[in-house]
Amino acid sequence: LGHALGLQHEQSRPDRDSYVTINWENIVEDDKPKFTRNNMDTFGLAYDYQSLMHFEEKAFSKNGQPTVVPKSAGVKIGQREKPSQLDVQRISQMYKCGA
* Interatomic CA distance for residues 40 and 68, integer angstroms: 19
The pTM of this model reads 0.90
Split into its structural domains, the chain has a count of 1
Q: Can you give the pLDDT of all 99 residues of the chain as single tens digits?
A: 788 888 999 999 999 999 999 999 999 999 999 999 999 999 999 999 999 999 999 999 999 999 999 999 999 999 889 999 999 999 999 999 875
CA angle 7, 54, 86 (to 5 degrees): 60
Dihedral sign (CA 90, 96, 97, 98) = positive
Are residues 65 and 23 in contact, defined by beta-carbon separation less than 8 angstroms?
yes
CATH assignment of the domain containing 69: 3.40.390.10
Domain span at 7: 2-95
